[in-house]
Amino acid sequence: MLFPTIDFAIFFAVVFTGSWLLSARPSPWKLFTLASSYVFYAWWQWRFVGLLLLATGMAHLGASAVYRYADQPRLKRASLWLSVGALLAVLAYFKYYGFFAVNLDNLAQAMGLGQIAPLIQPTLPIAISFFTFMAISYVIDVSRGSLLPASPIDLAVYLAFFPHLVAGPIVRGAELLPQLRRRRDPNGIDFTRAGYLILGGLFKKVVISSYLASAIVDPVFASPSSHSAIDVLVAAWAYACQIYCDFSGYTDIAIGLALLLGIKFPVNFDSPYTARTLQEFWRRWHITLSRWLRDYLYIPLGGNHGSRGETSRNIALTMVLGGLWHGANWTFLIWGLMHGLGQVLGHLRRGRLSARGLLIPAGPLTSIRQRFLTFQFVCLAWIFFRATSLSNAQALLSRLGSGWSTPSSVSIWVLVLIVGVLSVQYLRLEKLEGILNRLAAVPLAVQALGIAFGLFVITTLGPSGVAPFIYYRF
Amino acid sequence: MSPHPSELIKTELQPHRRVSWRLALAIGSAGLLLWLLLDATTLEHNAKASPVGTRRTVALEILRPFAGFARLTGISHVASLSNGALGRNALDETGNGDLKIPRFHYLPTPTRSTKPVRSVLIARPTVADPLRVLILGDSLGLDVGQQLEGQLSALGVVRVTLDGRVNTGLTRPDYFNWPAQAQADLAMQRPQVIVGMMGANDPQDFPGPPDIPFNSPAWRAQYAANCKQFFSLLVSTGAKVIWITEPPMQEAGLNLRVALVNQIQEAQAKAVGGISLLHASAVLGGPGGNFASYLSNGQQIIAVREPDGVHITPGGSQIVGAGVIAAMRDLLHIALP
């Protein structure tokens, strides 16, 4: 079920009413929320509800075991590895098996060994990367002692709660589980903030992201040879804005829906294109994934506690695996590698400057230059992320080098939207809070009119059919 | 790595006015109802264009009173005026009008002509006088078309135009009118060769009233007529047509339904004449022409189908593209480099 559909609006109206009617009775509320979430998931792929249950069962057994064996380090470690390994094995089978089997068989064939791995292409269940990562973080947090094991029903609701289920944010157990146990205030809904987030998210997705996709990104990426170098350049910028509006739009809607149900999610985006370095970019982009990678991959690998070489290796490996998290494709691997190597170079440069005492706060001009260069590098990497194959990426890059004499077909609206999306990122958060406060003070009847007008603008400006969110694929 | 902003920024900077869930429901419902009234005719129009079935019927039943009220009170003019201001065909009183189906690939270099002009096939295209190829298709046609465009462009003597629309076909001209679109493409591009591939979205009922159920005798007759009309249009300008039938599908039911579509398309292509058929099952099928996710060319294994069991991977599309180029050389006798 897609968020921007009438189906979902009806579904949510029913769930919202049921959820608050049952809010004083924790057990029925949890069962209702769980059933609603499974219906939401089954609407897409009913066959894979069993997989969600399996992940929940594995996380429950794993967390129970590591908690039970807290005083027996070997058993605890074995339980942890077993449960995390089982969760990763399921993810690997569905997401990476086909890719590795083909490459392994081709390698074996080249070495004269024949076919080694059976060629199967499993259907990728929606949301598997998200609920698997949440399940893994839950087991590891229990193992680290930062979280107590939850009851099976609490854990099931935590993993399946529909606002975050399909494309995040990747919420930690410590963030959501206590909220499931606490009684929510039926008179304390931050309606203005929720409405702003949902309408804003819909506008970003339905209007901006859809327009940029159909007006420039899809045509240019589909056929680089028929477009000019300027088209390719603008398409890369436009894709940066498209994926930001698409993914942050989804997250805004998810956060808004959860708020209406009395649940708070962590933020997932913080003006990423204002970043001055790649390291800063990753503290602002898909925040809940990058902190997951930091806490459950980068730090266990050794983080920045080893030598400079070890730290560089850890950064590069984390980013490459982060790239592969998005899918089994060489394009994602290169995208991750670019970000990894970019961060390593930045890390080494900062280390060198720091050792010489030259690391001083950047002036305004330096800051502008850093932001510009970081954005261009991110856009260059987005070309690999969006490309359908390495040859597609290569065609785009070669067009960027050779297509300067071809006339451009970029429309003024594409440029206006790109400038608009980038400019909004520089708005200060306090100003937004001020706007929200003023909106909250508006009479409720006017707020209802505002909702109607906002939806009308979105449906009028948007296309009739809305493409699924980009991150649904991951 | 230092702490993330999510850990630094308070999730709630300032307290706003809080409301009860009943009030939130009332405001939200009032907003949605007002919006339904404002947009009822557009929503009704979009619902009409959705696949025939329970979902469409229920949507239409719900929207009909809203749309009726909107027309009666003149509220529907707001949507019509807005669409008109945006340069879209406004909906008429019955909710008909242009649907906003995003075009996947805009035609980069249209000619000045507005009427179809007979095209003469050139047997030996050159850089100065390139072969004009138009590729038309649905999402599978786009899969193939994107690769084929690259393969043909790489030859240096072919000018390719790809016009693909996802979720379209020949069953629902009320949703997307391919004959009308193709006529415009033919007039603008004056192609010498047309490559077409669509049909996977076609196994669905024709909307009524009364609805014509898929695979009924009436459905087969109507679909055959639609195919004949479309194929006749394609060959009418003298362009050579290569029509690619659908590859086998992973899901057995869909595979059977698509086989019927292929069968009717093939019969009508033969009846119209001047159309070279390329059977995708011959190049993308496994043993016996059955569905295959992977194919081997003896040296390398290639994933040819997407995990959804329907769409074609870039590798699979290149195989079909090579088949199209071979057909251009062998069947149409075009001297391509």
Nearest C-alpha in A relative to B156: A225
Q: Is B219 part of a structural domain of the chain?
A: yes
Cα–Cα distance for residue pair A300/A347, rounded to 1 Å: 19
Tokens of A458: 């979105």
| Residue B88: pLDDT band with limits 50, 70, 90 | low
CB-based contact A451 B150, cutoff 8 Å? no
pLDDT value at residue A148:
93
Cα–Cα distance for residue pair B101/B179, rounded to 1 Å: 15
pLDDT value at residue B15:
56
Q: Is B2 part of a structural domain of the chain?
A: no
B178 CB-near residues (< 8 Å, 6+ apart): B136, B168, B169, B170, B198, B230
Q: Are residues B161 and B53 in the same domain?
A: no
More confident residue, B317 or A309: B317
Q: Are residues B79 and B145 in the same domain?
A: no
What percentage of chain B carries pLDDT values higher than 90?
38
CB-based contact A218 B301, cutoff 8 Å? no
Mean pLDDT across B213-234: 94
Q: Which chain A residues are within 8 Å of B24, Cβ to Cβ?
A: 16, 189, 191, 260
Do A327 and A474 touch, CB atoms closer than 8 A? yes
Which of these, B164, B127, B152, lies nearest to B329 by C-alpha position?
Answer: B152
Nearest C-alpha in B relative to A123: B307
Q: Which chain B residues are within 8 Å of A122, Cβ to Cβ?
A: 307
Q: Are residues B316 and B202 in the same domain?
A: yes
Q: pLDDT (tens digit, 9 = 90+) per residue, B198-212?
A: 999 999 888 877 888
CB-based contact A124 B307, cutoff 8 Å? yes
Catalytic residue numbers of A read 326
Q: pLDDT (tens digit, 9 = 90+) per residue, B104-151?
A: 443 333 333 445 555 666 778 888 889 999 999 999 998 999 889 888
Q: Enumerate residue ranges in chain A where pLDDT < 50.
A: none
Q: Is B131 helix (H, G, I), strand (E, B) or coil?
A: strand
CB-based contact B5 A287, cutoff 8 Å? yes
Q: Are residues B95 and B175 in the same domain?
A: no
pLDDT value at residue A2:
72
**pLDDT score of B11 more than 60:** no
Cα–Cα distance for residue pair B67/B60, rounded to 1 Å: 10
pLDDT value at residue A339:
95
Q: Are residues B75 and B140 in the same domain?
A: no
CB-based contact B99 A6, cutoff 8 Å? no
pLDDT value at residue B4:
41
Q: Measure A75 CA to nearest chain B CA, in Å.
A: 31
Which of these, A144, A88, A81, A95, lies nearest to A123 by C-alpha position?
Answer: A95
Q: Are residues B165 and B295 in the same domain?
A: yes
Structural domains in chain B (count): 2
pLDDT value at residue B106:
35
If you count residue pairs, one on A and one on B, with CB atoms under 8 Å apart, how many are there? 216
pLDDT value at residue B331:
86
pLDDT value at residue B119:
61
Residue type, position A218, single letter: D
Structural domain including B261 reads 131-330
Q: pLDDT (tens digit, 9 = 90+) per residue, B148-171?
A: 988 898 888 998 888 888 888 999
Length of chain A: 474
The dihedral built from the CA positions of residue B204, B210, B216 and B217, taken in this order, carries a sign that is: negative
Phi, psi of B165, rounded to the nearest 5 degrees: -135, 120
**pLDDT score of B1 more than 70:** no
Averaged confidence pLDDT in chain B: 82
Mode of pairing for the β-strands spanning B131-137 and B158-164: parallel
Q: Measure A102 CA to nearest chain B CA, in Å.
A: 6
The dihedral built from the CA positions of residue B173, B177, B180 and B183, taken in this order, carries a sign that is: negative
Tokens of A47: 């066959």
Cα–Cα distance for residue pair A228/A409, rounded to 1 Å: 8
Cα–Cα distance for residue pair A21/B48, rounded to 1 Å: 35
Q: pLDDT (tens digit, 9 = 90+) per residue, A295-347?
A: 999 999 988 888 888 898 999 999 999 998 888 888 999 999 999 999 999 88
CB-based contact B11 A267, cutoff 8 Å? yes
Q: Are residues B74 and B188 in the same domain?
A: no
Q: Is B335 part of a structural domain of the chain?
A: no
Q: Which chain A residues are within 8 Å of B303, Cβ to Cβ?
A: 98, 102, 121
| Residue B99: pLDDT band with limits 50, 70, 90 | very low
Q: Are residues B96 and B239 in the same domain?
A: no
- Nearest-5° angle of CA A464, CA A466, CA A469? 170
Do A451 and A195 touch, CB atoms closer than 8 A? yes
**pLDDT score of B221 more than 90:** yes
Q: Is B294 helix (H, G, I), strand (E, B) or coil?
A: strand
**pLDDT score of B94 more than 50:** no
Q: Is B5 part of a structural domain of the chain?
A: no
Q: Are residues B158 and B82 in the same domain?
A: no
pLDDT value at residue B47:
80
Nearest C-alpha in B relative to A223: B146
Do A383 and A396 touch, CB atoms closer than 8 A? yes
Other C-beta atoms within 10 Å of A295: how many?
A: 18
Q: Which chain B residues are within 8 Å of A115, Cβ to Cβ?
A: 301
What percentage of chain B carries pLDDT values higher than 70?
85
| Residue B7: pLDDT band with limits 50, 70, 90 | very low
Q: Are residues B325 and B210 in the same domain?
A: yes
Q: Is B77 part of a structural domain of the chain?
A: yes
Q: Is B273 part of a structural domain of the chain?
A: yes
B58 CB-near residues (< 8 Å, 6+ apart): none
Q: Is B7 part of a structural domain of the chain?
A: no
Mean pLDDT across B90-98: 42
Q: Are residues B77 and B141 in the same domain?
A: no
Q: Is B116 part of a structural domain of the chain?
A: no
Q: Last residue of some domain: B100, B117, B143?
A: B100
Q: Are residues B71 and B194 in the same domain?
A: no
CATH number for the domain including B252?
Answer: 3.40.50.1110
Phi, psi of B94, rounded to the nearest 5 degrees: -95, 5
CB-based contact B108 A227, cutoff 8 Å? yes
Q: Which chain B residues are within 8 Å of A193, Cβ to Cβ?
A: 16
